[in-house]
Amino acid sequence: MSYKIVIDSCGELLDEWKKDPRFESVALTLSVGGENIIDDENFDQASFLKKVADCPECPKSACPSPERYMRAFDCDADHVYAVTLSAELSGSYNSAVLGKSLLQEENPGKQIYVFNSKSASVGQSLIAMKIQECEESGYSFEKVIETVEAYIADQHTFFVLDNLETLRKNGRLGKVKALVASALKIKPVMGSTDEGAICQLDQARGMNKALVKMAQNIVDKTKDSENKILAISHCNCRERAVLLKNALEERMPVKHIVILDTAGVSSMYANDGGVIVAV
């Protein structure tokens, strides 16, 4: 059976997916100082980060329309899946569900399923990898859904950012009760709740110590690590991501670790120097 995986642009694409017609990225729109930037293959991270640094206003994002999702779902594939960033953080999931309903009004038999990642960035990438693995193992549509939903329930996302202002000003830190003053150079270690909201897991003085704390949190929360693929995304700090990769490999056995650059939405929220991990 043929399949297609649609990922909103908060999720990072593997290089091989960018040339594979079975994968499609549906772009969110970023807004900086009144300028709208489409988060597609033409996104320029360096230019975007400069615009954000130069602009006194907080950047914002807008999710894709249901009609855009409907177009992505309208294809010849037998099985169509969407992976959206957490419904707790964006309207992208609801938009995709509505796009599915619109297409199924015209084509009632079309098999489409929308996964709420309850994550973001490389969390979405790992979910897409799991869908691909299930499909290429010959699973039925229903079995893919069951397996991937169980995978999502077991997944954890972690991140450490140099700057939390974009998340805070966009209301994404609602459940984080205490963020200490940046003047003290305290870096919170953040994570995802079971529902896909953001929580604070730990904190440390300085980025390097925060990364060490994050690595320990990852080790503590990851069961059967030798059978799992771990993904790291970074915003303009590959050396930091590689150091984290090496630290994790020293602390636990892992099947494989993927390192990716943040795309537009992830760059906006991670900001320059941010690192995100999903497993």
pLDDT tens sequence across 52-101: 889 888 899 999 999 999 999 999 999 999 999 999 999 999 999 999 99
Count how many residues are written for the chain: 279
Amino acid at 267: S
Distance CA(221)–CA(29), nearest Å, equals 34
Residues 29, 84: Cα–Cα separation, whole Å: 14
Q: H/E element holding 112?
A: strand 111-116
Helical (H) or strand (E) element with 145: helix 141-154
pLDDT at 178 over 50: no
pLDDT at 70: 98
**What pLDDT is attached to residue 98?**
98
H or E element in which residue 117 lies: none
Q: Are strands 3-8 and 79-84 parallel, antiparallel or unpaired?
A: parallel
Three-state SS string across 56-105, please?
CCCCEEECCCHHHHHHHHCCCCCEEEEEECCCCCCCHHHHHHHHHHHHHH
pLDDT for res 170: 67
- Output the pLDDT for position 181: 47
Confidence of residue 176 (pLDDT cuts 50, 70, 90): low
Are 173 and 164 in contact by the 8 Å Cβ rule? The answer is yes
Which pLDDT belongs to residue 144?
98
Arithmetic mean of pLDDT, 17-31:
97
Considering the chain, what percentage of its residues have pLDDT values greater than 70? 93
**Rounded to the nearest 5°, which phi and psi values hold at 221?**
-95, -5
Poorest-confidence range of 31-40, 147-156, 177-186, 240-249?
177-186
DSSP calls for 228-267: -EEEEEESS-HHHHHHHHHHHHHHS--SEEEEEE--HHHH
What average pLDDT score do residues 108-120 get? Answer: 97
DSSP bridge partners of 218: none
Whether the predicted pLDDT of 180 surpasses 70: no
Residue 1 has pLDDT above 60, yes or no: yes
